[in-house]
Each structure stands twice: as structure tokens, then as C-alpha cells.
Amino acid sequence: MLKDKVGIITGASRGIGRATAVAFAHAGATVVLASRTQHDLETVADLIRAEGGEALVVPADVTQAEAVETLVNRTLQAYGQIDILVNNAGTGVFEPIVDSDPEVWTQVVASNLQSTYLCSKYVLPSMLERQSGQIINVLSIAAKVAFKASSAYCAAKAGALAFTKVLADEVRDQKIRVTAISPGSVDTPFWNEIEGHPELNLMLKPEHVAETILFAATQPDGMVTDEIVVTPPLGIL
Ligand SMILES: NC(=O)c1ccc[n+]([C@@H]2O[C@H](COP(=O)([O-])OP(=O)(O)OC[C@H]3O[C@@H](n4cnc5c(N)ncnc54)[C@H](OP(=O)(O)O)[C@@H]3O)[C@@H](O)[C@H]2O)c1
């Protein structure tokens, strides 16, 4: 399905990004794995290579423009093209506004929103040149629903949804497809440090979201899926 395609996946070291990298590799794609933690990325790459796939590890803090430029340049040097960008990296810190730390708040916005802007910006020139490409932004149900103690996360994801719509309209006529995917709760390490989270066994599995991302990446010609919302069977937990 993705033979001869090259995909960059941010936040590929664990959770949804890791599952997406594995699903893309199973579908035949060459995957470029980005996050801040080289050791964890190498583990994912080893898993993919052990199954005959092709993976490149590029450690990058995707809130930093220079690191993102390097990620894009290294991908182009290695493979000459970028067919798919999955903007998946993100963090969540959940505290009431009155108790929040401005630096932490800003970092949550940067990891979810700034990263999506930067990766899209630096990948776009090569996609525009080829008049081909797919950008898939992993948002959250928090882009659409307000949750208490989630101001940074909701603002970042809602901002990323608005950004996604603008991006889609800017490149729609140049054969670049942009899709927003907004999952409900997913059982990943995202929840490890968060007290009082919903039951993990009621959540989606990362593989469910990976399948949804794979669908977006393999849409037939002649259609664009602008937005997908995917929730656990019980809905918003
Ligand atoms: N889990 C859920 O319930 C859920 C629901 C809806 C949407 N989402 C969204 O899905 C995405 C993936 O979440 P997840 O559940 O898989 O979380 P996760 O298991 O905590 O994984 C987050 C990934 O993002 C990477 N990352 C974080 N900050 C980064 C930065 N500045 N630069 C580069 N990489 C960075 C992490 O790698 P390093 O630490 O190695 O950098 C890790 O690979 C996020 O955007 C999240 O908001 C999650």
C-alpha cells in the first residue's frame, strides 16, 4: 500500500507514533522516526528492520526550527523525497489555570502546536515541488471539547485544528492532502504521569489510531478526508 513512499513520523518513540511507524513499515513505507529520545527510536527502528523494513532515526526536538530543518534535510538526503508527514508528537500537562506554571503551559502548546507548524513548514517545499504529499496531524478530541484542567492542551489542539484547516486550504489545489485526526483517549505512556486518568482498558489502543492514520495515508485518488474523529466504544471517557 505504501511501497516506495517515505514517511516522517514525529513522536515515533512510543505510543501512537510507534504503532504508526510499525503499521507504515508493514505497509511497505520507508519510515523516518523522530522524537527527542534516540535510544527509544533505535528500539523502534530495530523492530522494523528485524521485519525487513527500512527505518531512519533522526533525534529531534520538533519545537525547535533548526532541529526540524535538519530532520527534513536528512530525510531528503537519505531518500530524496517525503511523501507523508505525520505530525504526532505532543505532551499533556493537566492543571487548573490558576495553578499553572507559565513555562510548562507554553511547552505544552509548543509540543503540540508549534511542532505541527514547524514540521509542515519545512516539509512543504519538497512536497510543493513534486505537487504531491500527505500531511496528517494527530490532534485530540480536546481540540473540540473543553476539559477542566486542560487549558494548554485544549488550546494547543484547537489551535492545531485551526492550523490544519488553513494548511489544507493553502495546498489543496497543489495536490497535497491534509487530514486532521482527533482521537479520544488512547492507552499509551501519555497517561503515565497523570493522576486520576480514565481506565486504560476502556481506551482505544494505539494500533487503532495507527490504522486510522494509515487509512488517511492511503486514500484513493479523487478524495480528501479533511477530518476524522475516532473514539473508544464508550465515547469520551
Ligand atoms: N494518549 C491519548 O489518550 C491521546 C488522545 C488523543 C490524542 N493524543 C495525541 O497523540 C499524540 C501521541 O500521543 P501518545 O498518546 O502516543 O503519547 P506518548 O506515548 O506520550 O508519546 C508522545 C511522543 O511524542 C514525542 N514528543 C513529545 N514532545 C516532543 C518534542 N518536543 N519533540 C519531539 N518529540 C516529542 C515523545 O518522544 P520523546 O519523549 O522521545 O521526545 C513520544 O514519542 C500526541 O499528539 C497526543 O496529544 C493522545
Nearest-atom number in ligand 1 for the CA of 183 is 6
Task: Answer whether residue 198 is part of any domain.
Answer: yes
Task: Answer whether residue 156 is part of any domain.
Answer: yes
Nearest-atom number in ligand 1 for the CA of 141 is 6
pTM above 0.95, yes or no: yes
Domain enclosing residue 139, as ranges: 6-230
Nearest protein CA to atom 20 of ligand 1, as residue: 190
140 lines ligand 1 (CB under 6 A): yes
Task: Answer whether residue 1 is part of any domain.
Answer: no
Grid coordinates belonging to 224: 480528501
* Tens-level pLDDT at each residue, the chain (237 residues): 999 999 999 999 999 999 999 999 999 999 999 999 999 999 999 999 999 999 999 999 999 999 999 999 999 999 999 999 999 999 999 999 999 999 999 999 999 999 999 999 999 999 999 999 999 999 999 999 999 999 999 999 999 999 999 999 999 999 999 999 999 999 999 999 999 999 999 999 999 999 999 999 999 999 999 999 999 999 999
Asked about 79 being catalytic, the answer comes back as no
Task: Answer whether residue 43 is part of any domain.
Answer: yes
* Domain of residue 77, CATH code: 3.40.50.720
Task: Answer whether residue 237 is part of any domain.
Answer: no
Domain count, the chain: 1
DSSP annotation of 207 reads: H
Task: Answer whether residue 236 is part of any domain.
Answer: no
Q: Are 73 and 34 in contact (CB under 8 A)?
A: no
Dmax over Cα atoms in the chain, in whole Å? Answer: 51
d(CA 92, CA 19): 19
